[in-house]
Amino acid sequence: MDRVSVRAGAGVRSVARIVARDDGRGGTSLPVLESDGPLALRRTRATGSEARVMLVGAMSGPLGGDHFTVKGRVEEGARLSVGSAAATIALPGQAKGDARYDVRLEVADGGELRWLPEQLISAQGSDLHVSTRVELATTARLVLREEQVLGRAGEESGRLTSRLTVRVAGQAVLDQELACGPGAPGGWDGPAVLAGHRAVGQLIVVRPDFATTPVTAGVLGEGASVVPLAGPAALVTAVAPDALGLRRLLDEALASLSQP
């Protein structure tokens, strides 16, 4: 198990690790499933050859000064789906400084990862930096969803900075950053970014067949669009008035990209 250190004025440090491996019998084993403190990992009922893991928030947070890290590796031929039991809420804390939430994912050749957590809510007064980095081998497959909601009902947003980087065979197919809320660079709420909406999300799908048959860029309903990336990948970006509307847009987009 990873140790969590709690130091006065410095917040909480927590690391969770997942390793998925082909078990040689048509399924996927989880030889590493380690977590404690604010991050709790639970294996749930598998479906076919896919192992499923749920990330459960065992404590409030991340709060100011906290640093959470999730590391996942899908080995050759394994299939893994990761979700979360509830939304993550970034809150202000007693410790000084911002909070950090880092996600580091690797998928080997022939492996498949579905990373589908619930929404991240930026509560008023919070300051959170989220960094997600994904390294994929040439024939790896990925479905990754990110959803951010600015403020709980009836409150202003905290400050949220989110960076997503995806590399396939060592080449970057996506590297983008979005900053929202108090203190963020001007224009984040303007017509070129959120246009007054409170929920923003993206869906990235990586499949080897996209290298020869890329998706067609276009609009996917009101508030969503899809574009092919420079590699075997497609990116859906969506904005909506609330979390429910955002989820609907991204679910519809994923269904359309899953069709042959």
More confident residue, 156 or 134: 134
How many Cα atoms sit within 13 Å of 78 on the Cβ side?
A: 24
Cα distance between residue 188 and residue 180, in whole Å: 6
User: Do residues 12 and 93 make contact, with C-beta atoms less than 8 angstroms apart?
Assistant: no
CA-based nearest residue to 56, from 87, 93, 91, 19: 87
More confident residue, 104 or 90: 104
**Amino acid making up residue 72:** G
What rounded mean pLDDT belongs to the chain? Answer: 89
How far from 160 is each of 22, 31, 36, 44, 96, CA to CA, in Å? Answer: 37, 34, 25, 31, 16
Least confident range of 2-11, 33-42, 162-171, 200-209: 2-11
pLDDT class for 97, splitting at 50, 70, 90? Answer: confident
Task: Spell 9-48 as b/e; 16+ CB within 10 A means b.
Answer: eebbbbbbbbbbbbeeeeebbbeebebebbbbbeeeebee
pLDDT class for 5, splitting at 50, 70, 90? Answer: very low
Cα distance between residue 108 and residue 253, in whole Å: 25
